[in-house]
Structure formats: structure tokens, C-alpha cells
């Protein structure tokens, strides 16, 4: 997955025109009189973003498709060039709406590569600088010291239903904001001739990112899913609901990459029944183990 650091590392925002470079050199103030001690070098691997660079990054979401896109060879431009067009106002609105979300997370959501286990990063109280351990898969807990076990993961990041619904709602809001900010497809200035072959309208929207036509689909399906998730949480244990969402969400990722958001409105009855049966089986095994221990005393 392409991270924001990798994308920004290939962007050189200054103009490539040598005349502009000379003018900028003449206007640049002399910093030799400043104390060397006052200069702080960023830590290795750190990417420092200005407000314009941040907004410019978000504006690229609808210009550059995901690396797996078959159009990448045609649409990828030289990383050393900066578009002459100003930063879109839609990008600034998006940044104002979600100031607590990091650029790489926004890119992952736009490209549908964010794993549902990482939804906690959309919480307003989350800070990546706190060296938060990466989450462990619910079905395959990792044993390395830098990760957390399944029980620790649930307790720390998703201890209750509200701990999931809050970042999940933000996730859907970001999808809606990205779709709303996408450029509208261009329409022909005059009606096509009945004898001329019809051609689809051109658009900078790619199938891997939300577009204007997806706004209603995302709003409808996400609302239905959240309402259904609330109803399921009132009927079933949290140990069933959380794995259900993780598996259900992962199944929707590939659909969203194809521009299909209708899957959020469906119910995976087979998955839900399987998780309920697994929980009942685990409960029976715990009860049997407890009875054996009580007899041995």
C-alpha cells in the first residue's frame, strides 16, 4: 500500500522552471546569521507538511489512481512537476472537516485499502505519536512484543459497541466527503449527432475512488448498515458483533474498489449464524472445562 510518506517523498513542490528558481533564490532571505542550534532536523523518515502541501496531497486523491489500477502507467506524471492549477477548494473543505485524520489514513480510505481493524485511528483521541501497537487479527493473534493479543486488542481499541460505531461513522463521512468533492463528469456542450457514435463523458474520477455519482449510494447503504448494526448489537453479544463487522467490512472493500457500495445494505446471514454457533460452542467448552475442574477438587 502506498503511504502518504511515499507519495510526498516523490513530490517536489517548487517550480521546475529555472527562471523561477533564480527569482526565488534572489528573494530568499539570508539565514546564515541565525544560530545553528536553533535549527532542528526532523527525525529520520519524518515528513513535515505545510497546509498547502497537505491540501495538495488530498487533491491528488482524485487525480492519481491506486497503484493496482491499470491506468497507472498512463496517468502517472513526473513526481518532480507541480500542477499549475491552484489547490482545489474542495480539498481545503475536506481538511477542515477531518483535521484529526492523518494524510495516509485519508489516502487509504480513498483507495479502499484501510483494514477495518484500523478504524480506531479515526477516533479523535487517537495519536499515532503515542507508539500505539498495531492491532492483531481477531482470528490470528500475533505473539510479537510489538503487537497486542486478541483480548488486549478488543479491550484497548473496541471495548464496547460505541467504540466501533464512532470511528465507523467517521469512516462513512469521509467516503461521503470524498465523493462530494470529486469533480463532476463533464457534459457535452451540444447534443450528439444521431449519426455519430456516442462516447462516454470524460471524468477525472477513477473506479477506485468515490465519485459524485456514489454520494447517494454511500449515504443510503451506510445508513442502513449502521442501523442494522445497532439492532444486531441489541440481540447478540459483543463477541459476535465485532468479528461480524470486521469480516463484513473486509468483504465490502473489494466491492468498493469496483465502485459498488450497495453491499453495505445487505445482511450476511450465513456469516452471522456461523459466528453465533462458534460462540455457543466456545461457551459449551468453557462450561465443560469448569465442570471437570470442579469434580477434580
**pTM for this one?**
0.61
Domain ranges in the chain?
87-183+210-295
- What's the CA gap between 176 and 170, in Å, rounded? 10
Please give the pLDDT value at position 14. 41
Please answer whether residues 33 and 79 qualify as being in contact, where contact means their C-beta atoms are separated by less than 8 angstroms: no
CB atoms within 10 A of CB 6: 13
Confidence of residue 7 (pLDDT cuts 50, 70, 90): very low
Q: How many CB atoms lie within 10 A of CB 226?
A: 15
121 DSSP assignment: G
Write out the three cell numbers for 250: 473486509
Q: What is the pLDDT of residue 185?
A: 60
Query: Does the structure show a pLDDT above 60 at 204?
Result: no
Residue range 125-140: average pLDDT? 58
Q: Where are the alpha helices (DSSP H) in the chain?
A: 4-9, 18-27, 51-59, 72-75, 89-97, 103-110, 150-157, 161-181, 215-235, 238-257, 269-296
**Residues 263 and 243: beta-carbon distance below 8 Å:** no
| Higher pLDDT pick, 274 / 91 | 274
Average pLDDT score, the chain: 70
Count of alpha carbons within 13 angstroms of residue 148, beta-carbon side: 16
Distances (CA, A) of 89 to 7, 14, 86, 93, 175: 21, 20, 9, 6, 17
Ramachandran category for residue 31: left, alpha or beta (phi over 0 → left; psi -120 to 50 → alpha): alpha
Per the model's pLDDT, the better-predicted residue between 82 and 155 turns out to be: 155
Pick the more confident residue, 297 or 19.
297
Dihedral of alpha carbons 112, 66, 219, 94, sign = positive
CA–CA dist 189, 75 (Å, integer): 25
Cell of 160: 464496547
C-alpha grid cell for residue 200? 462516454
Of 290 and 258, the one with more pLDDT: 258
C-alpha cell of residue 93:
473543505
Number of other CB atoms surrounding residue 59 within 10 Å: 21
pLDDT at 260: 94
Q: Would you give the distance in Å from CA 76 to the centre of its chain?
A: 21
Amino acid at each position: 500500500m502506498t503511504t502518504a510518506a511515499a507519495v510526498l517523498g516523490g513530490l517536489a513542490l517548487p517550480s521546475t522552471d529555472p527562471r523561477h528558481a533564480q527569482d526565488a533564490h534572489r528573494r530568499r532571505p539570508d539565514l546564515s546569521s541565525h544560530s545553528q542550534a536553533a535549527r532542528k532536523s526532523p527525525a529520520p523518515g519524518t515528513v513535515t507538511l505545510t497546509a498547502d502541501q497537505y491540501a495538495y496531497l488530498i487533491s491528488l486523491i482524485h487525480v492519481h489512481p491506486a497503484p493496482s489500477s491499470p491506468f497507472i502507467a498512463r496517468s502517472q506524471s513526473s513526481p518532480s512537476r507541480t500542477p499549475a492549477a491552484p489547490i482545489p477548494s474542495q480539498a481545503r473543505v475536506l481538511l477542515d472537516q477531518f483535521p484529526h485524520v492523518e494524510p495516509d489514513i485519508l489516502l487509504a480510505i480513498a483507495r479502499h485499502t484501510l483494514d477495518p481493524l484500523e478504524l480506531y485511528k479515526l477516533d479523535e483521541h487517537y495519536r499515532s505519536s503515542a507508539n500505539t501497537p498495531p492491532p492483531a487479527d481477531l482470528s490470528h493473534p500475533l505473539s510479537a512484543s510489538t503487537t497486542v493479543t486478541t483480548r488486549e486488542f478488543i479491550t484497548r481499541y473496541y471495548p464496547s459497541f460505541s467504540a466501533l460505531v464512532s470511528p465507523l461513522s467517521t469512516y462513512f463521512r469521509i467516503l461521503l466527503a470524498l465523493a462530494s468533492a470529486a469533480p463532476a463528469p463533464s457534459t457535452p456542450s451540444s447534443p450528439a449527432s444521431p449519426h455519430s457514435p456516442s462516447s462516454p463523458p470524460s471524468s477525472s474520477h477513477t473506479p477506485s475512488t468515490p465519485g459524485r455519482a456514489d454520494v447517494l449510494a454511500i449515504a443510503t447503504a451506510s445508513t442502513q448498515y449502521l442501523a442494522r448494526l445497532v439492532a444486531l448489537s441489541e440481540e447478540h453479544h459483543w463477541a459476535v458483533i465485532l468479528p461480524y463487522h470486521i469480516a463484513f467490512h473486509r468483504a465490502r472493500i473489494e466491492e468498493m474498489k469496483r465502485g459498488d457500495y450497495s453491499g453495505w445494505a445487505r445482511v450476511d446471514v450465513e456469516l452471522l449464524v456461523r459466528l453465533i454457533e462458534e460462540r455457543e460452542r466456545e461457551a459449551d467448552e468453557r462450561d465443560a472445562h469448569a465442570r471437570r475442574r470442579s469434580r477434580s477438587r
